[in-house]
Chain A
Amino acid sequence: MQEIDARGLACPAPVLKTKTILQEDNPTSVSVVVDNAASQQNVQRFLESQGFQIVLEQDGADYVIIGTSDSAHSAQLQPVPTLSTGAKRIMVLCSTDRIGFGDDALGLKLMVNFLRTLREMHDELWRLVFVNNGVKLTIDGSEVLEDLKNYEKEGHRILVCGTCLDHFSLLERKQVGETTNMLDIVTAMQVADKVITI
């Protein structure tokens, strides 16, 4: 069991400390000690969101949160409870600017058509995320730029990988969406009801 001493830390530091250790060591069981009730509840929420079963204990003035998971925590991600609006949250991850292999011109045409037809998902289209070559669809000159801008106007969130833009030296040329990072992308995947990868 991995032990984490987060006493003397104020919110959100105990959660961050726990998160770092989960990311680095991927333990199947952890025991986190905190010295205030708010931190206890926050660490409990965090561990539960990562698929851990929780047992709470009191040790004098300290609070102990013991979390156990059947397997490595990353395999046990659970969706975040959402407002009961009825709409599903579908996340579409585009890791390329064309669909399939073979004829590139056809691949690009299919991708343009795909992105335009996504409209049929209506409110269920929750996040549209562009990584790797996909970021090229969000820059000036992209055939779908106007379509993407319209999606954004209608309240669908568009996330564009900052590392990828930087890699292609396209940071200045991005015309739509919010620049994002891997943590945002992973969190969105965790929250989504469905992730579709192209």
Chain B
Amino acid sequence: MALCGLKFPIDENVIIGLDLADDAGVYKISDDLALIQTVDFLTPIVDDPYWFGQIAAANALSDVYAMGGTPKTAMNLVAFPAREMDLIILRQIIQGGIDKLKEAGVVLIGGHSIEDREIKYGLSVTGVIHPARLLVKKNLRPGDRLVLTKPLGTGIINTAIKAAMASTELTDKVTRLMAELNREAAGITADFDISACTDVTGFGLLGHLAEMVCGSGTGVRIESGQVPVIAEALEFAAVGLIPAGAYKNKEFREQMIAFAETVPRALQDVLFDPQTSGGLLISVNKIHAAALVAALKEAGIDDAAQIGEIIDTPGEKIWVT
């Protein structure tokens, strides 16, 4: 809303800018090379500083993968209460970020830090891609199947962790899930006939899907029973451990979405749950959908699943059955 009415400078080499609001900005350098740029930072979501660093880095890198690109360089963004907190904590956060970058084959070439009352950490990431291989959000093709690569529920489970109601095992499981790179999923996806792709983050599954649907001229049917969900998230949602963001996501997109009566409310809540470093949401030629899911599972992305289809219906609506 704050950006409404502001004019942004562009030139003919901007392939994706703010007007298209995709996962990252894309700028053409030459006919066979474009830059992908993105920035993202978080307040701590887990207590362990090293894991927080890893999650923040995986989260920042994800937007490049969601565009089909290869991340190359990164810069740190740090806000830290250096007067009140031990610098060793900051060191551990940054070490987590560096280790995740290493895993992704990305180099850290700079950064900036400020003194702040609350810790914030994130990265600006630059990647490259051939302009013809870009995977954009708004290109859904009727008949395609939708594939999701990570289970939903991290926002709800993080709320349960804050409430001290999650077991250590569950906390560990979700931490690892959030720190998991989307690199392998993106690499596998590139081999298939894909029409659109995004990553599921703060707007939740249905919020990001709504972004894909808006302006596409198509509709989507989600088979809610097929959507991968962390089982405990349903239990916590049913007792009201839901982050405020989930309700905002629902309120914002409600008019686009129709739920069948058989979809339990807790599952509806999970479909709006804001995700940190969530999975890729891929629109794939239906002939290839089963093969894509099989290839993802073979690579150890066990939760990958077909969750719905793109339908040729006017009205740009999402039907959840």
Contacts and interface: CB of A to CB of B under 8 A. Distances in A.
A178 B171 CA distance: 12
A28 interface: no
A185 to B, nearest CB: 11
A36 interface: yes
Interface stretch (A41-49, A68-76, A116-124, A138-146): A41-49
A113 B243 CA distance: 45
Interface residues of A, number: 29
B240 A45 contact: yes
A11 B229 CA distance: 21
B242 A38 contact: yes
A44 B225 contact: no
Interface string A170-198: 00000000111001100100010000000
Contacts of A56: none
- Interface residues of A: mostly helix, strand, loop or mixed? helix
Contacts of B235: 80, 187, 191
B264 A82 contact: yes
A92 interface: no
Most buried by B among A16, A45, A82: A45
A49 B239 contact: yes
B160 A12 contact: yes
B30 interface: no
Contacts of B238: 45, 49, 80-81, 191
Contacts of B237: 45
Given A82-B264, A84-B262, A183-B165, A15 B225 contact: no
B240 A46 contact: yes
Contacts of A81: 234, 238, 264-267
A1 interface: no
Interface in B231-280: 234-235, 237-244, 246-248, 262, 264-267
Contacts of A180: 167
A85 B225 contact: yes
A15 B234 contact: no
A38 B247 contact: yes
A49 B240 contact: yes
B86 interface: no
Contacts of B265: 45, 81
Contact of A12 (B163, B168, B266): B163
Given A80-B266, A81-B265, A83-B267, A41 B167 contact: no
B169 interface: yes
Nearest to B169: A178
A11 B159 contact: yes
Interface in A78-93: 80-85
A37 interface: yes
Contacts of B159: 11-12
A38 B247 CA distance: 6
Listed from nearest, the 3 A-B pairs whose CB atoms lie closest are A81-B264, A42-B240, A38-B244
Given A11-B244, A12-B159, 20 more contacts: A10-B244, A38-B246, A38-B248, A44-B240, A45-B239, A45-B240, A46-B239, A49-B239, A80-B239, A81-B266, A82-B234, A82-B264, A83-B224, A83-B225, A83-B267, A178-B167, A178-B169, A179-B167, A187-B235, A191-B235
